[in-house]
Amino acid sequence: MTFMRRLYLLIFALYLIGPIVVITAVSFNEKRFLAFPPRGFSFRWYAEIFVASDWFNALLNSLMIALASATLAVLIAMPVAYTAWRYGLRYAKALFALGIAPFILPPVIMALGFLLLFTSAGMHGLLINVIIAHAIFLLALPLVTISLGLESVDKSLIEASQTMGASNAVVFRTVILPIAAPFAFAGFAFCFVLSLNEYIIALMTVGFTVETLPIKIFNALRYGYTPVIASIAVLFLLINIAVFSLIAKFSNLTRILGAQD
Amino acid sequence: MQQGSSFTRSLGLIPSSVMIGIFFFVPFVLILMTSVSVPSETGDYQLGFSMEHFERFATWFYIERALFSAGLCALIALLSLLIAYPFTYMLTQFGPRSQTLWLIYILAQLSLSEVLIAFSWQILLSRTGGIANILVMVGLAEKSFAMTPSAGAVLAALVYLAVPFSVLLLYPALSRLDKSLIEASRTLGASPLRTFFTVVMPVTRPAIISSGVTIFVLTLGAIIVPQVLGKPEHWTLSVLITDQAIFNFNMPFASALAVVLLALSASVIAVVTKFSGGK
């Protein structure tokens, strides 16, 4: 049995990592075509990301959008999660449910809705469009993580500090925020990474004026590709691993993902 | 007392309400309105009521596409659960440290966009890429060949895309599973395998069903994999919507297709919830 378990785990791990190994190998190819096993060894496709200005600009666009939309999502989510938890307001709970909804739908529906909204408002291809769209689409993540964090705040702490004369604002700043902050950070990080990799909403809201990395990669895939894509994939995987390791370091990853303490 | 009334508490919610209201609610209304709009004289479309876009959908070509999408996604949900469930069960029995490490990797994998997953499978299945070369090496194939575009390639890549999701969706239920149930079953003499099938799986049935539905809806939204790895006859509804909206500029028809996709997702969720006894 232990042998079967080990074998199964090994096959599962190989399955997950297989394509990554192939991409990584291809990214070190010397020649301008995609071959596996790779021919030769070079870092030129990594250098290309930073040397070729179009790839680098796309990377910068993606990073900027991801930072801005993750910040916006946390700012929208925080009061909703807080009011729903602290006062149990029915309105806040309804808003919470609405905020979760976009994430559950096939993204193409939200993408089309945003496209219709921004065209009828006369806002064509502005950078702010994709920032708002990503923030709304990914709002579910900070909502869930922040409310998980708030649930771990002991309500008797709040009562104690109120008895000592602290105002709501002071209670929020000194008691609640320090406990909830790591969870808010986790929500921010989830948004950041998913925004970085999101494709269809970005394409439909700004795709023809502001090029993000996933859009650029997809265009490259359709019209003859280069190994730069492979090196970018590796770069992205490293960014993702770094971000999630940070979450694991500063807050409780297994708990955020639904395990009990 | 210093606690404000519920009115003043609600004031703090205004900015969030405005954002959610405008950017979630309005897009939906716009999709619905556009899907029943009528053509204007300028060749554009204007407000009105007409079912012509839905009539265009109600032809065998589009119905077949919808059925294909639903069947493909159901198969993917099934396969990815079969792969992910035993793993997730084992994962929850690891120590906290190795659980965290595995989860970091799975999250990183999951956030690789569909674009990159499509790309990696394109290499894996190409003539110069991995799998075909391996088949030649072990003597299963005479010479290297390309395995794309094909329905199998679409299926393989989408299952790969769905597996990390399945793990994360099953994780809460399996990690909260009452360990004393397993111990009891073991003490009573059941083998680990028997315990797995007669205790663990029945107890987590609601989670299995809801994860399956979520993966179904998720893969229904896939856009790039079917385009890059499949032939046009493997395109799903989501691809057709994108195609109509971006390349044909036919917003009313794209909206009608989006309404169909929405209805399809919603009805699958409703039916499954009803038959699984609700949750």
Peptide bond into B149 cis (omega under 30): yes
Under a CB-based contact definition with an 8 Å cutoff, are residues B87 and B169 in contact? no
Residues B36-71 pLDDT 10s: 887 776 767 777 777 777 887 778 888 888 888 889
Hey, are the CB atoms on A95 and B163 less than 8 Å from each other?
A: no
Closest CA of chain A from B28, distance in Å: 6
Angle of helix B60-91 versus helix B205-220 axis, rounded to 10: 140
Q: Give the pLDDT band of residue B1 (cuts 50, 70, 90).
A: very low
Hey, are the CB atoms on B104 and A245 less than 8 Å from each other?
A: yes
How many alpha carbons fall within 13 Å on the CB side of residue B69?
31
Mean local confidence (pLDDT), B190-212 = 85
Chain A residue nearest residue B22, CA to CA: A117
Selection from B274, B259, B228 nearest residue B31 by Cα = B259
Domains and CATH numbers, chain A: 54-256 (1.10.3720.10)
Residues B7-37 pLDDT 10s: 777 777 888 888 888 888 899 899 988 888 8
Give the C-alpha separation, A146 to A97, whole Å: 14
Residue type, A229: I
How many residues are listed for chain B in this entry? 279
Q: Global pTM?
A: 0.86
pLDDT at A69 over 50: yes
Can you say whether the dihedral through the CA atoms of A108, A112, A118, A119 is positive or negative?
positive
Identify the helix (H) or strand (E) that includes residue A237: helix A228-250
Identify the helix (H) or strand (E) that includes residue B46: strand B45-46
Q: Collapsing DSSP states into helix, strand and coil, what is residue B209?
A: helix
Average pLDDT of chain A?
86
Residue B198 is given by DSSP the state I
Nearest residue, CB atoms, A83 vs list B9, B27, B173: B9
Nearest residue, CB atoms, B6 vs list A20, A87, A198: A87
- In whole angstroms, what separates CA A61 from the centre of its chain? 15
Closest CA of chain A from B134, distance in Å: 10
Q: How far apart, in Å, do the first and last CA atoms of chain B sit?
A: 40
Give the pLDDT score at B83: 92
Name which of A22, A45, A116 to mutate to probe chain B: the one with the most chain B Cβ atoms within 10 A of its Cβ: A116
Give the pLDDT score at A113: 93
Nearest residue, CB atoms, B176 vs list A112, A168, A259: A259
Residues B242-264 pLDDT 10s: 888 888 888 888 999 999 998 88
Which residues of chain B make contact with A68, given a CB cutoff of 8 A? none
The complex scores an ipTM of 0.83
Under a CB-based contact definition with an 8 Å cutoff, are residues A35 and A29 in contact? yes
pLDDT at B117 over 90: no
Q: Give the pLDDT band of residue A33 (cuts 50, 70, 90).
A: low
Residues A83-116 pLDDT 10s: 898 888 888 889 999 898 888 888 899 999 999 9
Which residues of chain A make contact with B160, given a CB cutoff of 8 A? 15, 19
**Residue B124: Cβ-neighbour burial (10 angstroms; 0-12, 13-18, 19+):** buried
**Residue A100: Cβ-neighbour burial (10 angstroms; 0-12, 13-18, 19+):** middle
How far are the Cα atoms of A51, A239, B133 from residue B224, in angstroms, in the given order?
A: 27, 22, 25
Q: Give the pLDDT band of residue A35 (cuts 50, 70, 90).
A: low
Which residues of chain A make contact with B144, given a CB cutoff of 8 A? none
* C-alpha torsion angle, residues A116, A200, B156, B128 (rounded to 10): 130
Mean local confidence (pLDDT), B124-139 = 70
Hey, are the CB atoms on A9 and B118 less than 8 Å from each other?
A: no
Give the pLDDT score at A171: 87
Mean local confidence (pLDDT), A147-169 = 86
Give the C-alpha separation, B236 to B70, whole Å: 9
Give the pLDDT score at B142: 67
Hey, are the CB atoms on A222 and B262 less than 8 Å from each other?
A: no
Contacts of A137 (CB under 8 A, 6+ apart): A102, A103, A107, A110, A198, A201
Under a CB-based contact definition with an 8 Å cutoff, are residues A149 and A185 in contact? no
Q: Give the pLDDT band of residue B76 (cuts 50, 70, 90).
A: very high
pLDDT at A169 over 80: yes
